Amino acid sequence: MTQNSSLCDMTAVALRADIAAGHVSARDVTAAHLARIDACNPHVNAVVTLDAEGALARALLADERQAAGQPLGLLHGLPILHKDSFLTAGMRTTYGSPLYRDFVPDRDSLIVTRERAAGAITLGKTNLPEFGAGSQTFNPVFGATRNPYDLRLTAGGSSGGAAAALAARMAPLADGTDMGGSLRNPASFCNVVGLRPSPGRVPQWPTANPYNALTVAGPMARTVADVALLLAATAGADARDPLAIEQDPARFLDSLSRDFKGVRIAYAPTWGGLPVEAAVVQVLERQLPVFADLGAQVEPACPDFTGADAAFQALRGQTFAVGYEAVLREHRHLLKDSVIWNIELGLQQPAAAVVQAERDRAALFARMHAFMQQHEFLIGPVSQVLPFPVEQETVSAIEGMPMHNYIDWMRSGYYLSLTGHPAISVPCGFSDAGLPVGIQIVGRYRQEHALLQLAHAFEQATQYWRQAPVLPH
């Protein structure tokens, strides 16, 4: 293995240490990842806008700052990829829509500003479904993103380009968003780590809907420690986000080691009766003894998710209506059917549906809070299915049970979005067919650090993140 390709296999934490120690330069690290993108992206289609020249220039500046003895940011010299729904000043941002095919913003989204301020080197943008709608990454601008572990299959979504790029070792860090599972589903499908933080943990600006607690921004990487590092660089209050949490993000740099003796963990293999493919449950159950080995007590238990389906659909529809009503009115012919359906649902649903959704969400939060007093963590599948063919737009049935719309199959993700509790997808193993499966770990309200600690302990015990895909050269 060449020095350059081995750099692409290193974690962000290890790269950061080697750069700081002078063992390798930011330029070397950036060049290695650009070469990796050049070799792998044609097969995977994860990176849709690449700025190789700009990345090398930014890396040179990072090396010059280091040589001058200037303080180094948390992400100094680390290559990063931004989801194509985040604004990047001077770099195309398309949202996966023909409407924005040539849109070049003049400012950055806040998360991008923070990543760059921490010293990260922007490589480019990652693919997503049109307007981030759905957990299958394809759009009419760039086509579909393929799963690095099986190029015939989807990488999931909506942060599918990010997950596929991380799995293929094209970057050590990536960002994404999550409304119904978009940081978690693709992480599960691609054997990487995706954290859905608490609403407000990573402030969002600009946004058309600043009081929307369903959609969050968050970190993705191949290891839990790398996700914690990126969270530390992107969390923290900002007065432009009314939901922003005022806690010191440095807490996420604290040790991930912890004793789990006697800790109670609830195991919900079907999230209270959802259809789940047998192969998914099989992978999870093989790993349950890991938690017992850590000293934890695992017991079957699940919160009561009554009302969650109708509540999520109503609130999601409202969010789409707030964000995209004008787009529907002026450019309906350029939108995919599922986006049109979601916007129209928001515009046409009776007020009583939204009122009931808020009542049901409040009741669910109260039940979840009570449940999490009895269990510090809750575990179950990230996705109810294994990765499916890339030509298939969505999942029509699971274990014989029909799905009624394009996001029905994502309930294992969006149930937790509704409660606002932090949730993480961590590699959990592979099906008999060799496909990745993630485990979803849910923590107590706003307790991301404890969640990261359990996720880290599980990862260290299992080491599935090391199993890289084999891609054509």
**Catalytic residue list contains 182:** yes
In angstroms, what CA-CA distances link 376 with 35, 81, 365, 455? 43, 33, 15, 13
Structure-block tokens of residue 340: 């049109």
Give the integer Cα–Cα distance in Å for 157 and 422.
18
Q: State yes or no: is 158 an active-site residue.
A: yes
> Residues near 352 by Cβ (< 8 Å), separated by ≥ 6?
none
Tokens 């943990």 correspond to what residue? 201
Strands of 51-204 (E only): list them: 79-83, 121-126, 138-139, 143-144, 146-147, 150-154, 173-178, 193-196
Q: Are 241 and 200 in contact (CB under 8 A)?
A: yes
388 sits in the region (left: phi over 0; alpha: psi -120 to 50; else beta) called beta
Q: Which of 97, 159, 182, 338 is catalytic?
A: 182
Alpha helices in 90-143 (DSSP H): 110-117
Catalytic residue among 25, 83, 198, 383: 83
Q: Residue 351 has which token pair?
A: 């007020």
Cα distance between residue 83 and residue 162, in whole Å: 7
Residue 107 DSSP code: S
Query: Scanning the structure block, which residue is given the tokens 């510090």?
Result: 376
DSSP code per residue over 384-398 = SS---BTT--S--EE
Q: How far is CA 378 from CA 44, 201, 203, 261, in A?
A: 33, 20, 25, 16
400 phi and psi angles, rounded to 5 deg: 85, -5
Which among 158, 383, 412, 417 is annotated as catalytic? 158
Report CA-CA distances (Å) from 167 to 163, 341, 448, 466: 6, 32, 23, 10
Residues marked as catalytic: 83, 158, 182
